[in-house]
């Protein structure tokens, strides 16, 4: 009986209708996670439930998959970090290790398996993600009031927790739209349809850039400037730019755009805030940095550096972050003298710093590999004629952007950040690693 049942189950999980059902829930998750959180949680749960059997049916793929082994390493380092914490900060250590802190970043693996390297399904996921963010700006806020505030040149967030998350979503959507523009360019459809789709993408991209500007998060501005600066090289690697002359012209255009943007009083005002704090940092006056927005970050990182120096390899586990905060006179004084979010301060305003504190160099390196390896896989896949050009462009732009913004905020530890990361990474993983593993298996 067992000999009949097992193959029957495997056939079920390999049936196209099973994948279509799983994709339906994935699409629902991408569309509703931010705009309608309750529905998003339901779609997410159903998608994950259906994706679990795929980890078994694809076990031969996963054995060859570097990302799956990185996932295993992430589980191990969280256990080792926790164990180290029980020795050095027993009063703060948990009774057992919490593996979800890094494990949730790897939801992109089942997303990639469900998409199966299908270009149309991958694009659909990204389009629904983009639409969902725009809908969320309406459903999660008094949209008209937020627009009025933006027109008054005041900082807005459209109800997406706070303005930093709004900027993060805006930057991510802008990069998605930019990448999809090249997908449309190579689509096998009529010129009229391409023109309409390109116009829609340019409109969405423009709205995203405006949203990133009015939400006024400087780390996102910095990341977008970095992406723009690297764009000629990215387009060269992806075969869009083919000559040195074109690279030169592209850089001239980028510099003109950045120069024009820098002349805006609106941008200058926000970018030059806390200049006195930066002056103290540059001059080396690190003992007298005020607890402003930038100052809190720098003081947090300075305090964290002591813990990192003492436990550089394994870290102190997730509660090492709490140890840094409770051991800091400045941070505790800030918590005790303020109200609101600062009173509940529980993070170090940098995912990179938190990784080093909690899981040491090993943990940081494993997460860093999640940014670098997809770019390498996408480039190799593109050169081999397997990965679409637009996927390579998106990968290079997104992971540069994501690395920079996580240097100044803990997006990888927050639900909105994890959602963005796994959706984009899942698409890239599917169109690079999953396609290559399927080819090698065949």
- CA 31 → CA 26, 119, 414, distances in Å? 9, 18, 18
| Whole-number percent of the chain with pLDDT over 70 | 95
> Which pLDDT belongs to residue 7?
55
How distant, in Å, are the alpha carbons of 39, 98, 175, 265, 341 from that of 410?
Answer: 25, 18, 20, 29, 15
CB 76 within 8 A of CB 135: no
Say how far apart CA 105 and CA 411 lie, in whole Å: 11
Poorest-pLDDT segment among 85-89, 292-296, 306-310, 390-394: 292-296
Residues 268-299 have pLDDT tens digits of 888 888 888 888 888 888 888 988 889 999 99
Q: Which tens digit of pLDDT belongs to each residue from 6-55?
A: 456 667 778 899 999 999 999 999 999 999 999 999 999 999 999 999 99
Question: pLDDT grade, residue 433 (50/70/90)?
Answer: confident
**What CA–CA distances, in Å, run from 94 to 84, 304, 358?**
11, 20, 13
Look at residues 84, 200, 107, 140 and name the one whose alpha carbon lies nearest to residue 192. 200
What is the rounded distance in angstroms from the CA atom of residue 17 to the CA atom of residue 390? 28
* 388-392 average pLDDT score: 97
C-beta of residue 128 within 8 angstroms of C-beta of residue 173: no
Structure token pair of residue 318: 């997730």
Which pTM value belongs to this model?
A: 0.94
d(CA 423, CA 213): 24
Q: What is the mean pLDDT of the chain?
A: 93
> Is a pLDDT exceeding 60 seen at residue 2?
no
Q: What is the spatial distance between Cα 127 and Cα 124, in angstroms, rounded to a whole number? A: 5
What would the pLDDT profile of 395-429 be if each residue is shown by its tens digit? 999 999 999 999 999 999 999 999 999 999 999 99
Q: Are 412 and 362 in contact (CB under 8 A)?
A: no
Task: Indicate if the pLDDT at residue 437 is higher than 60.
Answer: yes
Q: How confident is the model at residue 3 (pLDDT cuts 50, 70, 90)?
A: very low
pLDDT at position 271 is 84
pLDDT at 440: 62
- Residue 263 CB neighbour total at 10 angstroms: 8
d(CA 238, CA 396): 9
The pLDDT-based confidence of 441 (bands split at 50, 70, 90) is low
pLDDT of residue 1: 37
């Amino acid at each position: 009986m067992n000999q009949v049942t097992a193959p029957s189950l495997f056939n079920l999980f390999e049936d196209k209708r099973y994948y279509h059902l799983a994709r339906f829930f994935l699409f629902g998750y991408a569309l509703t996670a931010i705009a309608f959180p309750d529905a998003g949680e339901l779609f997410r749960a159903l998608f994950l439930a259906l994706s679990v059997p795929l980890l078994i049916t694809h076990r031969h793929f996963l054995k060859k998959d570097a990302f799956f082994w990185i996932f295993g390493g992430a589980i191990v380092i969280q256990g080792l970090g926790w164990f180290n914490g029980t020795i050095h900060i027993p009063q703060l250590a948990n009774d057992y290790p919490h593996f979800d802190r890094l494990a949730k970043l790897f939801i992109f693996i089942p997303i990639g398996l469900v998409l199966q390297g299908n270009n149309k399904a991958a694009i659909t996921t990204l389009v629904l993600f983009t639409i969902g963010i725009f809908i969320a700006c309406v459903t999660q806020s008094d949209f008209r009031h937020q627009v009025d505030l933006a027109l008054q040149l005041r900082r807005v967030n459209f109800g997406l927790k706070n303005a930093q998350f709004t900027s993060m979503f805006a930057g991510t959507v802008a990069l998605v739209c930019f990448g999809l523009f090249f997908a449309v360019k190579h689509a096998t459809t009529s010129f009229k349809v391409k023109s309409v789709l390109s116009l829609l993408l340019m409109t969405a991209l423009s709205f995203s850039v405006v949203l990133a500007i009015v939400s006024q998060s400087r780390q996102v501005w910095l990341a977008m400037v970095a992406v723009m600066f690297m764009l000629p090289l990215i387009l060269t690697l992806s075969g869009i730019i083919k000559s040195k002359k074109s690279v030169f012209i592209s850089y001239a255009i980028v510099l003109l755009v950045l120069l024009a943007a820098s002349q805006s009083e609106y941008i200058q005002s926000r970018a030059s805030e806390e200049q006195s704090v930066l002056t103290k940092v540059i001059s080396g006056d690190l003992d007298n940095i005020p607890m402003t927005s930038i100052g809190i970050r720098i003081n947090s990182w300075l305090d964290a550096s002591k813990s990192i120096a003492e436990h550089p390899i394994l870290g102190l586990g997730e509660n090492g972050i709490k140890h840094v905060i409770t051991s800091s006179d400045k941070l505790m004084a800030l918590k005790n003298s303020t109200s609101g979010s600062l009173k509940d301060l529980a993070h170090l305003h940098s995912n990179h710093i938190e990784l080093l504190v909690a899981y040491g160099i090993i943990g940081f390196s494993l997460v860093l590999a999640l940014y670098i390896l997809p770019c390498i896989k996408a480039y190799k896949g593109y050169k081999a004629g397997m990965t679409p050009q637009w996927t390579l462009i998106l990968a290079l732009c997104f992971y540069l952007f994501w690395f920079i913004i996580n240097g100044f905020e803990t997006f990888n530890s927050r639900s909105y950040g994890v959602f963005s990361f796994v959706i984009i990474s899942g698409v890239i993983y599917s169109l690079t690693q999953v396609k290559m593993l399927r080819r090698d298996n065949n």
